[in-house]
Copies of this chain bind each other. A is one copy, B any other.
């Protein structure tokens, strides 16, 4: 890849973050309604911190940070770098102000472009390029978190503010759910080829799969409503033990962001409170809810290798996704669809290392490897995932109790 094209990609990714922030009020930038939901301002700063920490400080002689304390304030979880400002207190940083954070971004941008321009003559060129690409992908991940964290934090406000005003889709009819069968066999999964991937998508390796069937589309709000109406949240036999404990402890009665008010079935969206559409894919369910729904429906969640095996053979159709919707859209027709662009899809696979997995050396190796316990794999992509990240081998992971992502359900059996 040419230095020039890297610079282009860097600049456009960085600019996109400012673009998606435009609808915000200044007061929204500091909002953090839960430990996991970082404020917009923090995302803007942390994604700059990543470039500063892993590129500018090691590769630019005499690089001067704007403010030494930012190393601590905007470190997410890299113990190899040093202390971190407590995660739950990111919303308490009224300073640096938004203007100061934007100045920090500009400072990092200038230094990065200089570094990249000089990279050709630089002995560490390969490291610089590969780390820049990683930083770009990292920033894209935070652009997705920007949306889901913001949605969560706005939902804590009884005024239900909207991020944008365009209405969500309405009145679509639900397409019938169809099953496609796949034969048993020894398959290969994991990334191959020259394109970018994260370390945990490697190495490509063999897995034996029994024959299985996969649903052609995601489970809809209406179908999930039937599960709720069948008393699912009062029936322990449908749930994993830890899932049932989560239901009790958190008093769950339906997906996050469902709002029932005065007899109306509503859903909080990035467009504010909207009527809940029956055909729209259900979203913001935990892994436990996805698992219980599948059990109730006489099915199960797919294994990650099953999902990848199917996705790898359907690349052309399924990558037609877009970030403009800000909300999942209904299925159309009976083809296999909604692999990307609507909701992440919970799998039954625990997040664990592929055989032979080796994380990168140093602090940057903390990116993925250290999270390989207690989390579950989600596959695909959502309505707020940058389209460039949609690929069959992408491994997303969250705790099965987590619900603030656009996480939905695709059944297998």
Smallest CB separation, A149 vs chain B (Å): 13
Q: Which residue of B lies closest to A369 (CB)?
A: B240
Contacting residues of chain A (253-272) with chain B, CB-CB under 8 angstroms: none
Contacting residues of chain A (48-83) with chain B, CB-CB under 8 angstroms: 67, 69, 72-73, 77, 79-80
| Contact with A356, one of B41, B210, B288 (Cβ below 8 angstroms) | B210
Compute how far the CA of A153 lies from the CA of B91 in the bound complex, rounded to whole angstroms: 11
Interface flags, A7-44, vs B, CB<8A=1, else 0: 00000000000000000011111110100000001000
Compute how far the CA of A80 lies from the CA of B241 in the bound complex, rounded to whole angstroms: 12
Compute how far the CA of A22 lies from the CA of B166 in the bound complex, rounded to whole angstroms: 36
| Contact with A206, one of B93, B98, B208, B356 (Cβ below 8 angstroms) | B208
A157 contacts the other chain (CB 8 A): yes
Smallest CB separation, A372 vs chain B (Å): 6
B356:A348 contact, CB within 8 angstroms: no
A314 contacts the other chain (CB 8 A): no
A156 contacts the other chain (CB 8 A): yes
A243 contacts the other chain (CB 8 A): yes
A352 contacts the other chain (CB 8 A): yes
B159:A69 contact, CB within 8 angstroms: yes
Which residues on B sit within 8 Å (CB–CB) of A374? 242, 374, 400
A239:B370 contact, CB within 8 angstroms: yes
Smallest CB separation, A240 vs chain B (Å): 5
| Contact with A31, one of B28, B94, B236, B244 (Cβ below 8 angstroms) | B94
State how many copies of this chain the complex holds.
4
Q: A241-B371, A288-B373 given as contacts; is B30 within 8 A of A94 (CB)?
A: yes
With most chain B CB atoms within 10 A of its CB, the pick from A77, A159, A287, A356 is: A159
Which residues on B sit within 8 Å (CB–CB) of A1? none
Interface flags, A215-253, vs B, CB<8A=1, else 0: 000000000000000000000110111111000000000
Q: Which residue of B lies closest to A288 (CB)?
A: B373
A92:B157 contact, CB within 8 angstroms: yes
A207 contacts the other chain (CB 8 A): yes
Compute how far the CA of A156 lies from the CA of B94 in the bound complex, rounded to whole angstroms: 10
Q: Which residue of B lies closest to A33 (CB)?
A: B92
A93:B157 contact, CB within 8 angstroms: yes
Which residues on B sit within 8 Å (CB–CB) of A350? 350, 352
Which residues on B sit within 8 Å (CB–CB) of A180? none
A172 contacts the other chain (CB 8 A): no
A95 contacts the other chain (CB 8 A): yes
Q: Which residue of B lies closest to A25 (CB)?
A: B97
Smallest CB separation, A409 vs chain B (Å): 16
Which residues on B sit within 8 Å (CB–CB) of A370? 239-241, 244
Contacting residues of chain A (85-128) with chain B, CB-CB under 8 angstroms: 85, 89, 91-98
A320 contacts the other chain (CB 8 A): no
Smallest CB separation, A272 vs chain B (Å): 11
B158:A85 contact, CB within 8 angstroms: yes
A355 contacts the other chain (CB 8 A): yes
Q: Which residue of B lies closest to A205 (CB)?
A: B210
Compute how far the CA of A93 lies from the CA of B155 in the bound complex, rounded to whole angstroms: 10
| Contact with A25, one of B25, B94, B400 (Cβ below 8 angstroms) | B94
Q: A153-B92, A210-B205, A236-B79 given as contacts; is B25 within 8 A of A27 (CB)?
A: no
Compute how far the CA of A31 lies from the CA of B31 in the bound complex, rounded to whole angstroms: 9
* Chain A residues within 8 Å of B, Cβ to Cβ: 25-31, 33, 41, 67, 69, 72-73, 77, 79-80, 85, 89, 91-98, 153-154, 156-159, 161, 186, 205-208, 210, 236-237, 239-244, 287-288, 291, 348-350, 352-353, 355-356, 366, 370-374, 400
Sampled A-B contacts (6; CB under 8 Å): A30-B31, A30-B94, A80-B236, A291-B373, A348-B352, A350-B352
What 8 pairs between A and B have smallest CB-CB spacing? A350-B350, A79-B236, A27-B94, A241-B370, A28-B94, A210-B355, A26-B26, A92-B156
